Amino acid sequence: MKSVNGYRWVLGSLLLAGGAAAQAADGVTDSLVEAVKGGTVALDFRYRYEGVDQDGIDKDAQASTLRSRITATSGSLHGFTVLGEADNVSVVGADKYNSTENGKTQYPVVADPSGTEINQVYLKYTADSANGIYGRQRINYSNQRFVGGVAWRQNEQSFDGFRANWQALESINLDYSYTYRVHRVFGPDDGVNPAEWDGDNQFLYVDWKVAEGHNIGAFGYYIDVDSQHGYSDAKTVNNSSETWGLEYVGKVSVLDVRAAYASQADAGNSELDYNADYYFLEVGGKVAAIGLKAGYEVLAAGDGVGFATPLATLHKFQGWADQFLTTPGDGVEDLYFGVSGALGPVQLAAIYHDFQAEESGGDFGDEIDLAATWPVNEHFTTELKAAVFNADSDSHTDTNKVWLTLQLKL
């Protein structure tokens, strides 16, 4: 009789456990279903024509490319979300340009190689005051002057690693990243430049909201690029650096003000030995419906080496003609003035730059940038841009560039 009762007890326990497991399984299943149902899929198509007329190169560049992007994001499952994003860059028209990978060196460079790759794929956890991301991801810090995704190019720059963000106090936010690989705009395949950089990179940004409309940022960017067989130190390890700085973003009376200072030295296995400074001040405001701004940016030099920003979204700075992607050994000063406004639905902008050597004071040249952007609707945008660089030194050449961009987001 005891044996029968024992069996009944075991059977009852198993049934209860099975029921609990079934309920737990149902709960997990329901959560997974909700995470899938709560997900989104987005499509992004960006066509661009880029033309380049550069002195010293007989043939003009004509690049007609289409970037197709699909992004899938899950809903939240106990604070976890997953994102996957794939890009394809294809030549759909003129193919008369040096992509840095196609070997067409008879043309000026347009750094938009064709190919398909995973742009982002990561797991993210979000809590009340913090979040963390692990995987391949887009990383933008501040205005992207030091670290950014280079979204201007058809093949965006992304990073493999970990990023954590913590709202330590209501007025203080801490942001830290560790990355071990950089997927550069020159990929997905190696060419004249490495498609990827391996190494140990650490980025730290502390944002302090001092008062309403006044923010101070403290930052440290440590870049350590590994050597890579077949590439010179100039294209790999000599891009390693350690940068520390402060910046201010705020509004003073009716003026928008941005100011920054940073100090940089060689790091990692770099063969360089230097210290260089960075200074920046920009002031802007509006008169009626016209936007005005003036800025002065200095990337100084030390021991013949210029202050370097190899992970920046460089196209945003020092003129759209991209004449200073690498800082000269004499440093560079950029004094610029801009005006913006609207003509109906079309946003217009014009910027004038004057470039000089920071150490010798010699003239590098000047540049005029023009842009007309028309957001036709919430899905479709068109843009026409032009840049005219006039060289005043042997280190640079006269360069004219024009872009037509059509972008559809679904």
The CA distance from 325 to 313, in Å, is 10
Q: Is the peptide bond before 375 cis (omega within 30 degrees of 0)?
A: no
Q: How many CB atoms lie within 10 A of CB 17?
A: 10
Predicted pLDDT at 306: 97
Placement of tokens 């759209």 in the chain: 320
- Helix, strand, or coil (residue 136): strand
Is the distance from CB of 262 to CB of 278 less than 8 angstroms?
yes
Burial code (b: 16+ CB inside 10 Å, e: under 16) for 172-190 equals: ebbbbbbbebbbbbbbbee
The CA distance from 196 to 402, in Å, is 28
Predicted pLDDT at 2: 46
Dihedral over Cα of 187, 192, 196, 200: its sign: negative
Q: What is the pTM of this model?
A: 0.90
Predicted pLDDT at 379: 98
Among candidate residues 193, 30, 217, 18, the one with its CA nearest the CA of residue 113: 193
The CA distance from 320 to 310, in Å, is 16
Predicted pLDDT at 361: 87
Model pLDDT for residues 376-397, shown as the tens digit of each residue? 999 999 999 999 999 998 889 9
The CA distance from 147 to 179, in Å, is 12
Predicted pLDDT at 1: 47
Q: Which residues pair with 229 in a beta bridge?
A: none
Predicted pLDDT at 17: 60
Predicted pLDDT at 4: 47
Q: What is the DSSP-derived secondary structure letter of residue 98?
A: B
Q: How many CB atoms lie within 10 A of CB 16?
A: 10
Model pLDDT for residues 204-240, shown as the tens digit of each residue? 999 999 999 999 999 999 999 999 989 999 999 999 9
Instruction: Spell out, as residue ranges, where the chain has pLDDT lower than 70.
Output: 1-33, 35
Predicted pLDDT at 13: 57
